[in-house]
Amino acid sequence: MAPMGLEKIDLAKRLRVFTDAGLIQEIPTPWQIEQGELEMLLYVISTDATEEAQYKGAPFGHPVLRQPLIFSQVGRDHLRTGSGLENKFSSVCKHLFLTYHQGMPVFDLQLLQTYPEGLSGFRRFLDEMEENRTARARRLNRIAKLILPDPPAYHARFLGEKGWIARAEAFDYPAAEKEASNFPPEFFSLVGLLNYCAKAYPRERRDVPLARRPAHMAKLFTRRLREGRAQGWFARK
């Protein structure tokens, strides 16, 4: 059974911003998304997902130290490793505020676009953080200084006429190779993931016979390992 949260989402309505723009031609089923999330899992929890070098110099920059801090602010949504469509809007904003990515965070910016006024709402969130007048802003800014060596410089990349938010509003997304991403192209962006899910997997759970289902799921989960790629965290240098 697909996650109940995902089953309750009106995917056609939620993804209309991308279907109207012609970026998604066929909306995947919840079961197809679940399969994509499983295949993507080991990539997401590897060092491929973050720009670890950017954390150097911060008191709590090491992943063992920073992850509990991020979790304390984002909550259970921080543990979700799939499409993110079940996450709360505020969780995505706080995640982006506290986390470096490999280049432009295309996946999360596209996720924001699926919420009503998502990108403009994130811009207002950053304005609140910069003004530093609310208790939430003061708390998140204190934590950002522990995790990121230069939070203002990182946050500035989202703003301005050529910033990441403006680019997302114009659907100006870089390709995975241009951002030097270690992710397979189909997992680099939310749109890429959903298009891949709609084409690569059986549409309904019943389309995979019960006897074959464990092997099918195991094959998806182990793709990264079968490619001969370590998780990165414990790889020998």
pLDDT in tens, 30-62: 999 999 999 999 988 877 767 788 899 999 998
**pLDDT for 106-160, tens place per residue?**
999 999 999 999 999 999 999 999 999 999 999 999 999 999 999 999 999 999 9
Q: How far is CA 108 from CA 61, 87, 115, 132, 182, in A?
A: 21, 11, 11, 24, 16
Whether pLDDT at 235 is above 70: no
Q: Would you state the pLDDT for residue 5?
A: 72
Q: How far is CA 129 from CA 22, 51, 173, 191, in A?
A: 34, 22, 25, 28
| Spatial separation of the C-alpha atoms in residues 112 and 110, rounded to whole Å | 5
Q: Would you state the pLDDT for residue 2?
A: 43
